[in-house]
Structure formats: structure tokens, C-alpha cells
Structure 1
Amino acid sequence: MRRKRLLSVTALMLTASMVFTGCMSSTVKKNAEQNEPSSAPEAVAENNTSEAVSDEEGEAEEAYTDIVLWDDSTDGDANTLFQELADGFAEKYGVNVERVVIKGEDLRTTVKAAINSGEGPDIFTYDSGAGYLGVLAKSGLAYDLTAVAEQDGWNDLFKESALDACTFDGKLYGVGNQLESVGVYYNKDIFDKYGYSEPSTYEEFEAMCAELKENGELPLMLDDLDQWPGYHYESIWLNAFAGCDAVSDVLALKSQFNQDDFALGLDKMQEIVKNGWTIESPNAMGHDDARKMFLSGKVAMYPTGTWEVGAFGGEEGLGDKCGFFFLPAPEGKETTGVFGLGQAIVVNGKSANTYTAVKFLEYMFSDEIVNKWLDAGFIPATNNTDITACDVTPLFADAANTIVTADKMGSNLDVLLPSKVNEVTANNIQELLAGKKTGMECMEEKQKILDEEVEKGNFEAIAN
């Protein structure tokens, strides 16, 4: 959900792309961080295949082969997690998992050409939704996992939403890796100072912002220099004011964005800037600097995603002094949480190593491994996790409980809509925050581009 969104067919240009975007194989990256000379794990096979193994019933399976993984977890707990998954699978099955780490935007723009040239990964992370994974599925670049899912019981293992988001024309082309939500983090010390509890209506939220400003506090952080935060702000305020059902109707092509409630939500977001409840120029603030301000205690509230739970609630963050709530709806309306999937795990539709790639996907979420996701601060989109068995922070437990108990589940829009729509949205949100466009102007332009993408066949209705 985050990232928060051409390779040449020659190997030379593929390598150059990796150099300029910070890509490196897992072995190189891991050993570089440890300042040790590169060496392969003892269990990694020297050849490209390991001997065939038997399943639990004693029937022979195909031989495991070396595979290549591309993912965009360039740092932090996510990087550590994917490294552990790659190394663990390699050791268990006696193969090599060559991990290539690529920035998200670069991965999205290079993987199609790489697959078509025969130089792509066997398995990779990618945004789910019709505008992203759906395009790969249509082009035959994503492997059809339908039969595997039925045979191996994926309907029981994975959350329904993790499969639905990766299903196109009745066929499964990936699996959502983690549940994510976007909401509002808050500094409990600042809240306690003013006797605040989590607001239950948008009117209460506004009153808190006004009082905090009067007392010299910075009520809310909005940063959009990097543009991807603007996607999430839009989804938060649209779901709060229009409601998740109205948003779902637009995605189902039953209605349109250019409605009063949608426009009002964006106008209310703009008022936060006009009222001085956030920094003076959100478009000039980068996400990393915004995070530092919040973690230093200089900001009362910060709307962003649950991928920050580990950092915000950890020892180097605010610890147990950080809380999380969904932006409340106006009085008389029901509050809607905004949900999505982190990314999809996708198998290359043209890979010669699909058997091992699929087994690696299953390994990532197997009973023996799945709690590693929780340990790293992520909520896997599966039914076999046990949060009580993990040592998680109070913030993680709070956020997980908020997500699990939500009555209304709204959609995070950017991962579901075509890239052309997102490009317009990114620019429009910046103009909205700068006071150059109204909410209705943003919604009318967004709808216009969506209509064009539907006409071109780049977006199909998402059933609700």
C-alpha cells in the first residue's frame, strides 16, 4: 500500500539499473552489512537443483531449484525479515535464493521488461489491484496459482481479502502478504497533558486541533514532498466523510468520485493547512523528516500506515507513549477504517522455476515461519498467526486490535486504481494542500481520468 508506486532486455542495462537504484543480491547485502567476506551458506547447493524430496504422504515431488527473489524491502525490519525468509528456505531445501533488493518504483517499472527478456525474478513483490497485478495477469507475466491454491488449501490458510485482491477473471495470480491500515498515530504524553482521549467524531478531532494550536503545539503532521503520503491522506479523508460503502460503489463503477461528500472530505483536509493545524508547507516536507519530528515529540498526531508500528512503538520510537486510532467520521456517521494489503507475492508467469517459487511462497506463511512476520512488526494476511506467542510492543497490540475489531473496512485507493489515475491524484493532492484546487476540482479530474482508463480497458469494476 505504501511507497509508497525501462528495463532494457540486455543484461548489461539490467545490471546498470540495479547499481543506480541500490540493488544488490542478498548475499552481497547481508555480508556487506556484517563487514564479512561474501560466502554462501553451507546448506546451499552448488548445482542449480537439489534432489527431489517427498511430501508428507511419501509421494515424490519435483526437484527444488535455485530461484531469484526481487523485493523492495530496502531497509529496516522488512529487509531483515525477507533476508531471514530467503536464507531459511535456502538452508532447508539446499538451494540458493538470490535476493535482489530494489526500490519500489524501480521494481514496478523494470519487472515487466525483465520478465519478457528472460532476465526477471522467479518470485517478486508487487502491488495488488487491477491497475498493477491485474495488468501483469492480463499480459501472462504472473503465474496462475488457482490450481495450487485449491490443491494446497490456501482458502483456509490466507485471509479472503488476501486472495480476492489478487484474483482477476476468476483466477488467482498472487497472494497478499500483510494486512495494513492507515490511521492516526498520536503522542500519549501530549494527549494526557490536555486530558484528551481518542476522538470519536471529526468535530472532536477539529476541536482538539484548535486547542492544541492555541497552546503552542503542532497538532498534526501532513507531509507530501514524496507524494505517496498524499494517496493515503486522500483515502483517509474520503472514507471518513463519504464512507466505505460510497467508496466501494465508485470502485464498482456504480457511482462517481465527483460527489459532495467526497469533495467535502478533501476540503476539510485543506482546512487543516489553512487553519495552521499542521506545518506551513506540507509539500516541502519529506516523509523521513516528518517521522523524525513526530518521534522527537514535536507533533501531537501523525496520519500514516501500520507499517510504522514497529518503528513508532519500539525503543527508538515513542514506545508505549504512542497510540493509534482511525480518523473519526463526522457526527451522525460511522467511522471507517482504511485497509489494504501491503503487497502481493507474485510468481513469474514465464519462469522455469515455478515449482520452487510456489514452495517458497508457501514457506513464507507456513506454521513454522508465519510468526516471524509478527516478530518483525507486520500482520500477515493469514489465519494461522498467534499474536499471544510473540513479543510485540503495546502499540503493535493496540493497532492489531483496532484493525481486527473494526466494524467498517474502507479501501485504500492507490493500490486499486490505474497508475494514470494515481499520477493525477499525486499532483492534485499537492495542489489541494497548497490551496490551489478545491476538493470538487480534484474529484472531477480524478473521475475524468478514471473514465478514460475504463474506456481503454485499464480498469474493471471491483465487485462490492
Structure 2
Amino acid sequence: MFNVKRTATWVAMTAAVTLALTSCAGSGGGGDPTDVNPEGEVEPREISWLLSRPADGGVITAMQQIADEYAADHPGFKLNLITTPDRPSYIQKYETLAAANKLPELFDTDATPFAQKLAEQGRMIDVDVLLDDLGMADDYREAALNYQRFDDGSLYMVPFEFQLEFFWYNSDLLAQAGVEVPATLDDFAPMCEALRAEGITPIALDGADGWPLERYMAHYPFRQAGPEYIQKLKTGEAKFSDAPGRAAVEWLYGLGQADCFQEGFSATGYADAQAQFTSGRAAVYNIGTWELANLATENLDASVRDAVDYFTLPTIDGAVTADNEYVTPSGIGMAINSSTYDPLVRDFLAFALERYPAAVAETGALSPTTDVDTAIPADATPLYSRAIEQAGDVGSAIAMPWDTQLDPATNTRLQQELTLLVQGDITPDEFIETMDAALAENVG
């Protein structure tokens, strides 16, 4: 149920932080964003990284190992990892510290309007300049860097991941229903109806977390109008009632009317949604290559292993984006505080960024760079290698996840209203009216 009190508190807190950030503009809290190779001795000390990543995830594990190697040759150095995996709590901490000019040497952020304000105030190191100075600019995947860029093309975050988001499907279940892989997004509803007629759940969805359904909202506008629509929507230059937004709303409402998602999807969590697909109870599942170990190795149930395949985001008639352009995120980026940037931070980053790609590739994950080969696990199915190879054929336009673009209050309301829309509790017109009002209030 919509928690009015909690949301009102969050909106008020966000407004206060934004006001505080605006008031400290030009206060001299930042250094020179382009001075990436400062003069002076490397004097070891503890530096901190404010993170929004799983504590036992590959990025933290690899970087901690690299930091330990660096510390062995630089007594007195330590990388202090301040971890807050819960994204809303992290954003609250990050924005509060930013408003107080107390951000640590390194901090995680998406390419949001809030982060761009920090960059405009000179409070983040220019990563384009840094990578060029380190001789690493050409090593990074274009899509990995583009995901981190602000709308004006500037780059202030370093990527540590690269993922491709696919629609995984069970070919046996599609064959049982007599349907093919959707060629266009408009083929989804008929596919769902055919699967339902055979008693098959069409699409497994983690509805409890909000962002998976929000991915579906992003698909149609990306194909119809490209990445520019969400860029304008988040600043109030576009509305949900505009053609791309209305098309997305009507498409999602149609998916709900076609009973595409499992019963009770709004209460289904991440693990349960995945289990519905991997056990053969659902025909389609939209998730990224971070789940390769569960979807493309012998960990996958033998009863469905040979039937599992994937397809990329389907197109639409008149699409303005290419077939090989879809959701290809490089995760939350790492920003570098310009006010605390010194020879030590520069020296450590040079050491870490050189070693990180090989370390992450050894785990079977895609590196954000192209200079290393991903290690394919011994128990991998042919899909694993194919998915990794797919990373070499990715276009430059990216379907940005909307939860990384919209302000927190609008994003929270969007996730709530999407559930109601797909459940048929509200009409497309009611959804659009509510979301345009929320956008006007929050962006204004």
C-alpha cells in the first residue's frame, strides 16, 4: 500500500538536501577537476570509498585484494570500504554527505542530475582526462563509458562492470504454445495469450523490487524515441502524456490485460521469480548477464537446461534505435572527490585500474574493458560463451534504466503506479495523469 507519510518525508528530505547542495555551490569545496596528475610525494594514508554494492560482490572482492597488494608496498595505506547495499539508504547518505561537503575520496553514483550538479561545481575529477592521462582511455568499452556519461557527454564516473540484459526463454514452452520468439514488442501480448491458453505462465517477474517492471516501461520509449526521451522526462522537458510515454503505458497495460506476468507478481521477490523460470514454470525471464552462473552453467536444472536460450530487446515498427542497442549497463560508477585528490589517490587508482580488469575477468564476469578475456567456467553451457561474445556487438545508444535517471520521489511513485496499471487497477489515462502531476511537483 502507498505509504503517504514515508513518501512525504522522503520528498521533504530530498528537497532539503538539494537546497543545501545548491547553497554550497561556488563555496570552493572542490579542487581542479582536470588536474589529474598533481605534483608531490605519495604519502600513504587511509582513504575511503563510499559504496552501494553487495559486500561480497565481485567488485568489492577484487578491489579489496588489489588494495591489499598496494598496501604491501605502501605501508600505512588502507582502503576503507563504507558499504551500504540498500540503494535508497545509500542515496540518502551520499546526498547528505555531499550537501555537507564531507564526501570521502571515492564514492559511488549514477549519472543523475544530482551528480551532474556536483560535477558542475568542480567537485568530481574529470574521468575522461584521468583515463587519457593514465593511457587507459582506449581500453574501455564505448558502451561501458557511455553508460556513465551525463547527458552532455561529460564523464565523471569510472565503470567497474559491464552487463547485457536479455530475455531468457524456454524454447520447449514456446513450442508447446506454438509461438516464436517475439520479433517486435507488440508480439509480447499475443505470445502471452498463447502461453496462457496452454496453462503456462508467460513471464516471470520480480515485482516486489520495482525496478524489473520499470525496465519494461523503458523499452517502448527507447525504441520509439531513443535515449533522449528519458533525458527530457527527468528534467520536466517531456511528459508521460507525450507520444513515447503514452505508447509505453498502453503497451504495459496490454501486457497486464494479456495476463503476461505470474499471479501475485507484485509480491514475488528476485529469487522466487528466477526460480519460476529455472524450474520450467515460466517461459520468459528478463535479467542481465550477472546471472550467467545460474542460467548458463550446470547449476541450471537439467530438466530445462537444453531448452534455455535468450533474445535481445525486440524492435518496433519505425524504431529509431538499432537491434543491437538495448539495456547494456556498466553499473553504478565510482566518482573521485576533487577536493581530496592528491598524489596518493592518483597513484592508487593507476595501480588499481590497471589490475582490476584481469581480476574481474577471472571470475567469469565481463570486464568494462576490452583488453582481457573473460574466463569461461568449466561447467558452462554454450550459452555462456555466446553471451560473452555478444558484448562485442553492442551499439552506442543505451536504454538507460529509469530508476537510475528519475528523482527518488518520482521513481518511487512510478514503481507503485506501474504495479496498479499492470494489475488493471487503474487505466492508462489515470496512470498518465498521476505521473505527470508527480513529475511536475518533484522536478519543479
Matched with 1:148 is 130
Q: Structure 1 residue 317: deviation in Å?
A: 3.4
After superposition, what is the alpha-carbon deviation per residue over 1:253-289, rounded to whole angstroms, capped at 9, x for unaligned?
8754423443233222223232223222322222232
CA contact (8 A) 1:235 1:338 kept: no
Task: Tell me, yes or no, if structure 1 residue 87 matches structure 2 residue 69.
Answer: no
Match of 1:398 among 354, 364, 386: 386
Q: Aligned equivalents of 1:307 and 1:134: distance in 2?
A: 28
Report the secondary structure of 1:341's partner residue: coil
2:337 paired with 1:337: no
Cα 1:326/1:163, change in 2 over 3 Å: closer
Amino acid at match of 1:62: V
* 1:219–1:278 Cα contact (<8 Å) kept: yes
Aligned pairs for 1:316-355 within 5 A: 316-317=299-300, 321-331=307-317, 333=319, 335=323, 337-351=326-340, 354-355=342-343
1:206 matches 2:189: yes
Q: Distance in 2 between matches of 1:249 and 1:170?
A: 12
Q: What's 1:459 paired with?
A: none
2:280 matches 1:297: yes
- The structure showing larger relative contact order (alpha-carbon pairs under 8 Å, at least 6 residues apart) is 2
The 8 Å contact of residues 414 and 422 in structure 1, kept in 2 or not, is answered as yes
Structure 2's unaligned 5+ residue stretches are: 1-8, 10-38
Closer, same or farther: CA 108–217 of 1 in aligned 2, 3 Å: same
String of CA shifts for 1:174-209, please: whole Å, max 9, x gaps. Answer: 223323343312234434656765332335443332
Match status 1:62 vs 2:62: no
Q: Give the TM-score normalised by structure 1.
A: 0.71
SS at match of 1:411: coil
Counterpart position of 1:244? 226
- Does the C-alpha gap of structure 1 residues 332 and 386 become closer, same or farther in structure 2, counting only changes over 3 Å? same
Looking at structure 2, the residues matched to 423 and 81 of structure 1 have their Cα atoms a distance apart, in angstroms, of 27
Deviates more, 1:92-101 or 1:116-125: 116-125
Please identify, of 419-428 and 327-336, the stretch whose mean Cα deviation from structure 2 is larger.
327-336
Which one-letter code corresponds to 1:427 in the other structure?
Q
Counterpart of 2:203? 220
Is the Cα contact below 8 Å between 2:162 and 2:368 reproduced in 1? yes
> Aligned pair in 2 of structure 1 residues 101, 403: CA closer, same or farther (>3 Å)?
same
Assess, with a 3 A threshold, how the Cα gap between structure 1 residues 243 and 132 changes in structure 2: closer, same or farther: same
Alpha-carbon deviation of 1:321?
A: 4.8
RMSD: 3.6
2:206 and 2:400 mapped to 1: Cα distance?
21
Give 2:386's aligned amino acid.
Answer: D
Q: Is 2:386 aligned against 1:386?
A: no
Distance 1:250 1:339, change over 3 A: farther
- CA distance in structure 1 between the aligned counterparts of 2:155 and 2:228, rounded to whole angstroms: 27
CA distance 1:203–1:146, change in 2 (3 Å): closer
Distance 1:255 1:396 in 2: 39
Instruction: Report the alpha carbon displacement of residue 391 of structure 1 after superposing the two structures with TM.
Output: 4.2
Q: Residue 406 and residue 83 in structure 1: after superposition, are their counterparts in 2 closer, same or farther (change >3 A)?
A: closer
SS in 2 for 1:184: strand
**In 2: Cα distance, 1:374 partner to 1:192 partner:** 36
1:107, distance to aligned residue in structure 2 (A): 1.9
Q: 2:361 aligns to what?
A: 374
Q: Paired residues, what number?
A: 391
Distance 1:116-1:272 versus aligned 2 partners, 3 A rule = closer
Q: Is the contact between residue 202 and residue 282 of structure 2 (CA under 8 Å) also seen in structure 1? A: yes
Of the three residues 146, 153, 157, the one matched with 2:139 is 157
How far has the Cα of 1:118 moved from its partner?
7.7
What does the per-residue CA deviation read over 1:47-99, in whole Å, with 9 as the maximum and x for residues that have no partner? xxxxxxxxxxxx986234332233233266xx144223212232234232222
Q: Which residue of 1 is the match for residue 82 of structure 2? A: 100
Contact 2:206–2:270 (Cα < 8 Å) also in 1: yes
Residue 186 of structure 1 contacts residue 324 of structure 1 at CA under 8 Å; is this kept in 2?
A: yes
Equivalent residues in 2 for 1:114-153, closer than 5 Å: 114=97, 120-127=103-110, 129-138=111-120, 141-145=123-127, 147-153=129-135
User: Does 2:51 correspond to 1:71?
Assistant: yes
Provide Cα deviations, 1:235-265, integer angstroms capped at 9, x if missing partner: 124334x242663674698754423443233
Q: Distance in 2 between matches of 1:84 and 1:409?
A: 27
Structure 1 Cα separation of the partners of residues 80 and 227 of structure 2: 43
Look up the match of 2:168: 185
Q: Distance in 1 between matches of 2:162 and 2:207?
A: 23
Aligned-partner Cα distance in 2 for 1:125–1:224: 26
- Which amino acid letter does the alignment assign opposite residue 271 of structure 1? G
Matched letter for residue 399 of structure 1: A
1:302 alignment partner, SS class: strand
Give the aligned residue type for 1:371: A
TM-score in terms of structure 2 length: 0.74
Cα separation, partners in 2 of 1:438 and 1:339, compared to 1, 3 Å: farther
CA separation of 1:249 and 1:172: change in aligned 2, threshold 3 A: closer
Structure 1: 5+ residue stretches without partners: 1-5, 7-58, 457-464
| In structure 2, C-alpha distance between the alignment counterparts of 1:74 and 1:122, rounded to whole Å | 20
CA-CA distance at 1:416 after TM superposition:
2.5
Closer/same/farther in 2, CA of residues 109 and 246 from structure 1, 3 Å limit: closer
* C-alpha distance in structure 1 between counterparts of 2:424 and 2:411, whole Å: 20
Aligned-pair identity in percent equals 21
- The Cα shift of 1:172 comes to 4.0
Name which of structure 1's ranges 245-254 and 145-154 shifts more when overlaid on structure 2.
245-254
| Deviating more after overlay: 186-195 vs 230-239 | 186-195
391, 407, 425: which one pairs with 2:414? Answer: 425
Q: Is the 8 A contact 2:209 2:269 kept in 1?
A: yes
Residue in structure 1 matched with residue 13 of structure 2 by the alignment: none
Q: Secondary structure of the equivalent of 2:162? A: strand
Q: Is 2:232–2:238's contact at 8 Å kept on the other side of the alignment?
A: yes
Report how far residue 162 of structure 1 moved.
4.2
Instruction: Tell me, yes or no, if the aligned pair for 1:283 and 1:430 is still in contact at 8 Å.
Output: yes
In structure 2, give the amino acid aligned to 1:317.
L
Distance 2:97 2:416 in 1: 29
CA distance in 2 between partners of 1:253 and 1:384 (Å): 40
CA shift in 2, pair 1:271/1:172, >3 Å: closer
**Which residue number corresponds to residue 54 of structure 1?**
none
> Which residue type is aligned with residue 426 of structure 2?
K
Secondary structure in 1 matching 2:290: helix
